[in-house]
Amino acid sequence: MLYINCTFAGADPLSSPYLMSGHVARALEAVHRLGQKEYGFWGNHTATIDWCEDNYTHTQYIAEWYNTVSNIPFIALGLYGAYYSLREIPSAMHRWRFTAPHIGIACVGVGSFIFHATLNWYAQVLLDEMPMIYVSSMVLYLVFAPTDGPGSLKLKVGIASIPLTVTALYLRFSYPVIHQLCFAGIMLSIGYRFVGLIRGSKHNPEAISDAKYYIFTGAFMFILAFGIWNIDNAFCDFWTLVRTSLWNGEPGPSFKTPSLPAAIVGAVTQGHAWWHILTGLGCARMAAGASYLMLTTSHPDILPPAREPNPPLPLSPPAPTRKASDDAIFRPYKDDPVSYEDEGPSHDEILLQQRQMIDEQDTHLDRLSNSIRNQRDISLQINDELEVHTGLLEALDHELDSTGDRLSRARRRLDHVARGAKDNGSAVAIGVLIFVLLILIIVFKT
C-alpha cells in the first residue's frame, strides 16, 4: 500500500506555525517504508509520501530509479508540444497562448524528476505537486477565456486564487489529499468545459472531430494511469515481495546486476512510473486537442483551410486510329521529348504561402495598431493643451472684467470731483465780486 503519514509532529496542528525562521514548517513527519533507506546522496528523506518502489536499486544518486527516469518522456513530450505549437500556429497573437501549457507540462516533469530522485519535502511540494496545480489552473483559464479580452480580468483573478489558496493551505497543513482533491477538481472542470465547447461548436466539423479524438484519448490515458496508480498503492506489499524474491534472492535493494526476469518484472510492475508515462501522454494529447478545439471554436480564421475535394478527372482521349493525321494530335512535341503536366504548387507550399501572408498581415496590423495608439496619444496631448489654453483665456477674461469694473468706478469718482469743482467755482466768483464791491465803497467814501 501507499505509505502516507497523517500523524502530526508535535501537538495540535492548528497551533504550530508554518513559517519558522524564514522556512516553511512541515505539519507532517517524514514517511519511510520498512526496510528502505532513509537517506541518500542528497540528504535525509523528508517527503510525506513513500511510493511503492525500493530505494537506491541502481545508483546512490537517485532514490527511486523508475519513478525518476519515467519523467523523461514527460519532459520530452512537453518540449515537443511547445516546439510544434510555435512552428504550426501562424498567428503571433495566439502562438504563445497555446504554447504555455506544453511548457508547463515540461516543467512539471522536471520537478517530478527532482522530487523522486531526492525524496525531499520541498521538492515534493514546490517542484512536483504545486506545479501540477499551477499548470492545470492555467489550462482552466485558457479553456474558459478564449481571448484575453477586457472582461477576462475577473476570470484571471478568480482562477489565480485557486493555486494561491491551495499553496497556503498545503504549506500550513501538509496533507497530500489537499493536492489530490484540488487537482482532480480542476481536471473535472476542464473536462466539463471541453464537453460544452464540443457540443456548442458549429465550425469545421472535421477539425472538431480531430480535437475530440485527441481529448478523449488523452482522457482515457489519464483514467488508465489513475487505475494503475491505485492498483500499485493497494497491492504494494505484493509487488514488493515479487520483486524482492526475483532480485537475486536477496531481501531489500541491491546494487548487483539482476537477472533478466527480475529486471523485466522490476520495470513493468512500477505502477507510479506507468502513471508518469501515461499521464505525460494524456497531458500532451489533451493539450494538443484543447489548442485545436479553442482555435477551431474561437479563431477559425487562423486555422489552415479545409482541403477542397479533388477536381474531376478529364475525360480520356479517344482511341487512336491508323490515320497519321488523327494520331498526331496525341503525340508528344518533337522539341520536348519529356512530356509532363505542370501540377502547380503542392498543398504544403500553398499552406506555407498562406501562413506567410497571414504573418505579414499580422505585422501590418501591429504597425497599424501602434500608429493608432500614437495618434491617440497625440490627440490626448492636444486635448490637454487646449484645456490649458482655455483656462488661460478664462483667466484673461476674468481680468478684463475686473479692469472694466475698476475703470467704471474711477470714472464715477471723476464725475463726482468735477461736479464738486463746478460748485466750488461759483462760490469763489461770488466772493471775488463781494470783495471788489467792498473796495469800491471804501474808495468812494474816502
* Parallel, antiparallel or unpaired: strands 23-24 and 39-40: unpaired
274 annotated ligand binder: no
d(CA 344, CA 366): 33
Does residue 64 have a known ligand-binding role? yes
H-helix segments, 201-247: 205-234, 236-246
CATH of 3-302 among 3.40.50, 1.10.12, 1.10.10, 1.20.1070: 1.20.1070
Q: Is 272 annotated as a binding residue?
A: yes
pLDDT confidence of residue 43: 87
Share in percent of the chain as helix, strand, coil (round to 5):
70, 5, 25
DSSP per-residue string spanning 271-313: HHHHHHHHHHHHHHHHHHHHHHHHHHHH-GGGSPPPPPPPPPP
Q: Tell me, what's the pLDDT at 306? A: 40
53: annotated binding-site residue? yes
Q: Contact, 220 vs 239, CB < 8 A?
A: no
Q: Which amino acid is at 204?
A: N
What are the phi and psi torsion angles at 111 (to 5°)?
-65, -40
pLDDT score recorded for residue 111: 95
Domain regions of the chain by residue span: 3-302, 360-446
pLDDT tens for the chain, 446 residues: list them.
444 443 333 333 333 333 333 334 444 566 766 667 778 888 888 888 888 888 888 888 999 999 999 999 999 999 999 998 888 777 666 777 888 889 999 999 999 999 999 999 889 889 998 999 999 998 888 888 766 666 677 888 888 899 999 888 888 887 778 888 998 899 899 888 888 888 877 777 777 888 889 999 999 999 999 999 899 988 988 888 888 777 654 444 545 566 777 778 878 889 999 999 999 999 999 888 888 888 777 666 555 444 443 444 444 455 555 554 445 555 554 554 444 445 567 777 788 888 888 888 888 888 888 889 888 889 888 988 888 888 888 888 888 888 888 888 888 888 777 777 666 666 677 777 888 888 888 877 76
Is position 248 annotated in a ligand binding site?
no
| Contact predicate 124/95, CB 8 Å | no
Q: Is 121 annotated as a binding residue?
A: no
pLDDT at 344: 63
Rounded Cα distance, 199 and 195, in Å:
6
